Amino acid sequence: MSLYVYNSLKRKKERFESLKPGKVGMYVCGVTVYDYCHVGHARVMVVFDIVHRWMKQLGYDVDYVRNFTDVDDKIIKRANERGIAIDVLTNEMIAAFYEDIDSLGCLHPTREPRATEHMPEMIAMIEALVEQGRAYVSGSGDVLYAVRTFDDYGKLSGKNIDDLESGSRVDVDKSKRDPLDFVLWKMAKPGEPAWDSPWGAGRPGWHIECSAMSCSHLGDTFDIHGGGMDLKFPHHENEIAQARAANGGGFARYWLHNGFVNINAEKMSKSLGNFFTIREVTEKYHPEVLRMFMLGTHYRSPLDFSDTALDAAKASLDRLYETMKRCRESEVCHSGNIATPQSSYLPSAFTTAMNDDFNTPEALACLFDICRLLNKGLDSDEDVSMLFDQFRAMTGVLGIVQHDTEAWFKSGDVDSEHIEALINERSAAKKSRDFARADAIRDQLSAEGIILEDSPTGTTWKKA
RNA sequence: GGCAGGGUGGCUCAGUGGUACGGCGGAGGAUUGCAAAUCCUUUAUUCGCGAGUUCGAUUCUCGCCCCUGCCUCCA
């Protein structure tokens, strides 16, 4: 059974074959660290975390590189506004970034280069382009890439240069030979961070950063390049033009793009201002709920963000945790003790779904099928340890139901002593068949957001 | 205007040339003192509209309508 991925470059699903046997090189465009990440960023991280995990599951040795853009206009602007040094800002945001993605259960990439650590590679790449006559110094002193020198320009995004220009919404910069030419090296203005270069002190353009970082870590040709759909043009198009021209390599062989997170059917973005940061959302919902919400939709489709959608994600996750809890408490699950998910435990339908371009909604359907079988078996005291192993293998791959069930249902500011006391009082009332008193206690706790569950072995509680 | 991707039950989301997966929600039942949790049953004669190909299309082809995105920084 082999993996098929949708390759944006070819606009179709293709059988995935790595460049080197058993190894995968993957580069994903990271974030520009000037502010907290929003849910849209979270989606990229979760989507490619799934890709990362599944590749590993298939036995690949994955070299996953994801960058930090830590030099950029917006960073300079924000640092100035806050009156702090640029590295203070970027370090603060990188720390926040880790908090956020860790909470979402994303594994760390193997390498996380920062743009500022790769100046020599960027400069070398620009020099190569200048030597080839593909780059030139404009009237303003910036070094620009002449897009018309690259025959395949527009191939990834399915655009041609003439169409782009006729529909262009950008004012034409007179110093450009062609309106679509983009900046490789920017001349420094006073007070801005700058690095020495053959063209004077300045800093790199955004696009060259990714070309240089990906190639320097993964080689001139590597397997996968990923990012949000909005990066396809011009960012990824420009990356291709730079890297393939400068190194003569093939650059990325498979391009994967995830869909957006929308709000009211409109793209969530900084510029529209209709965004929620990850930390805003996780104040109200457990981060794993956010992850679950994302897995419920195929990664290439748009994902509409709303409280109702998160509530539904929470309800479905609760269901899985409920089953996990029952299994943990059940003696008939004792033999299920695999340390790490093993492919042999994964149902073939699940593997098929994941191999079909990481179809997580389908994979979740398999998981819920197992969940139901598990509950059914538990209801009738059957040995469900095999199912339990499957269940954990699947949740392990998806990175959900990874928290302690006690913590899941009881986390937050609750006074458990108070609750336990009331539960004891209610049990006594029940024993003496004082159901009015018992129900009053249950109603009281319910009003406090606590739900009681009676079972033959006693009463347990959880947060609503 | 150019290009890309969509329109599937109350919501959400898969999928397939032979009447449609899962989740959330609703209804009924089992269980429970009553609930909760769990299980069972049920909830789309139908997959934007029209035409074509076909024994047969939601799935293929063409046309149309509508939505979103990209064409500027953006995940």
Summarised one tens digit per residue, pLDDT across range A290-311 is 999 999 999 999 999 999 999 9
**How many angstroms is C1' of B73 away from CA of A72?**
11
Q: What angle do CA A402, A407, A411 make, to 5 degrees?
A: 125
Q: Give the pair of three-digit tokens for residue A193.
A: 């961070």
**How many angstroms is C1' of B7 away from CA of A264?**
16
**How many angstroms is C1' of B48 away from CA of A262?**
21
Say whether the peptide bond before residue A21 is cis (omega within 30 degrees of 0). Answer: no
Three-state SS for A168-187 is: CCCCCCCCCCCCCCEEEEEE
Beta bridge partners of A463: A450
Beta bridge partners of A195: A202
Per DSSP bridges, beta strands A261-263 and A266-267 are: antiparallel
Return the residue matching tokens 């309106």: A179
Q: Are A204 and A119 in contact (CB under 8 A)?
A: yes
What gap in Å lies between CA A452 and CA A441, rounded to an integer?
10
Q: Are A226 and A29 in contact (CB under 8 A)?
A: yes
CA-only gyration radius of chain A, Å: 26
**How many angstroms is C1' of B64 away from CA of A136?**
48
What gap in Å lies between CA A433 and CA A426, rounded to an integer?
10
**How many angstroms is C1' of B39 away from CA of A264?**
37
Q: What's the burial of A220, exposed, middle or buried (CB within 10 Å: 0-12/13-18/19+)?
A: middle
Q: What is the pLDDT of residues A42-100, one digit of tens each?
A: 999 999 999 999 999 999 999 999 999 999 999 999 999 999 999 999 999 999 999 99
Q: Please give the pLDDT value at position A55.
A: 97
Closest residue (Cα, C1') to B36: A453
Q: Which helix (H) or strand (E) holds A264?
A: none
Name the amino acid, one letter, at A278.
Answer: I
Q: Which nucleotide is nearest to A41 (CA to C1')?
A: B75
**How many angstroms is C1' of B10 away from CA of A265?**
19
Residues 6 or more apart whose CB falls under 8 angstroms from that of A207 comprise: A182, A184, A234, A235, A238, A239, A242
What gap in Å lies between CA A358 and CA A361, rounded to an integer?
9
Q: Give the pair of three-digit tokens for residue A96.
A: 């926040």
Q: What is the DSSP letter of A138?
A: -
Closest residue (Cα, C1') to B13: A297
Q: Are A300 and A380 in contact (CB under 8 A)?
A: no
What gap in Å lies between CA A145 and CA A238, rounded to an integer?
9
- Map residue A251 onto helix, strand or coil: strand
Q: Which nucleotide is nearest to A357 (CA to C1')?
A: B14
Q: Which nucleotide is nearest to A462 (CA to C1')?
A: B36
Q: What angle do CA A353, A311, A426 make, to 5 degrees?
A: 115
What are the backbone dihedrals phi and psi of residue A262, each rounded to the nearest 5 degrees, phi first?
Answer: -110, 155
**How many angstroms is C1' of B38 away from CA of A389?**
20
Give me the residues of chain A with pLDDT under 70, please: 165-173, 332, 334-342
Q: List the nucleotides on chain B closer than 7 A to a protein CB.
A: 1-5, 11-15, 21-25, 32-40, 67-75
Q: Please give the pLDDT value at position A168.
A: 54
Q: What is the ipTM of this complex?
A: 0.95
Q: Which helix (H) or strand (E) holds A208?
A: helix A206-218
**How many angstroms is C1' of B24 away from CA of A67?**
37
Domain A21-267 adopts which CATH fold?
Rossmann fold (3.40.50)
Q: Which nucleotide is nearest to A315 (CA to C1')?
A: B24
Q: What is the pLDDT of residues A121-175, one digit of tens each?
A: 999 999 999 999 999 999 889 999 999 999 999 999 988 888 776 555 555 567 7
Q: Which nucleotide is nearest to A316 (CA to C1')?
A: B23
Q: Which nucleotide is nearest to A168 (CA to C1')?
A: B71
Q: What is the DSSP letter of A415?
A: -
Q: Which nucleotide is nearest to A233 (CA to C1')?
A: B70
Q: Are A291 and A333 in contact (CB under 8 A)?
A: no
**How many angstroms is C1' of B64 away from CA of A162?**
29
- Map residue A97 onto helix, strand or coil: helix
Sign of the alpha-carbon dihedral angle for A276, A278, A281, A283: negative
Q: Please give the pLDDT value at position A51.
A: 97
Domain A317-404 adopts which CATH fold?
Four Helix Bundle (Hemerythrin (Met), subunit A) (1.20.120)
Q: Please give the pLDDT value at position A453.
A: 93
**How many angstroms is C1' of B6 away from CA of A5?**
19
Q: Please give the pLDDT value at position A1.
A: 72
- Map residue A234 onto helix, strand or coil: helix
Give helix A287-295 / helix A307-329 axis angle, nearest 10°: 100
Sign of the alpha-carbon dihedral angle for A39, A41, A46, A51: positive
Name the amino acid, one letter, at A90.
Answer: T
Q: Which nucleotide is nearest to A257 (CA to C1')?
A: B75
Among candidate residues A300, A250, A222, the one with its CA nearest the CA of residue A19? A222
- Map residue A426 onto helix, strand or coil: helix
What are the backbone dihedrals phi and psi of residue A303, each rounded to the nearest 5 degrees, phi first?
Answer: -130, 115
Closest residue (Cα, C1') to B32: A454
Q: Please state whether A264 falls in left (phi above 0), alpha (psi between -120 and 50) or beta.
A: left
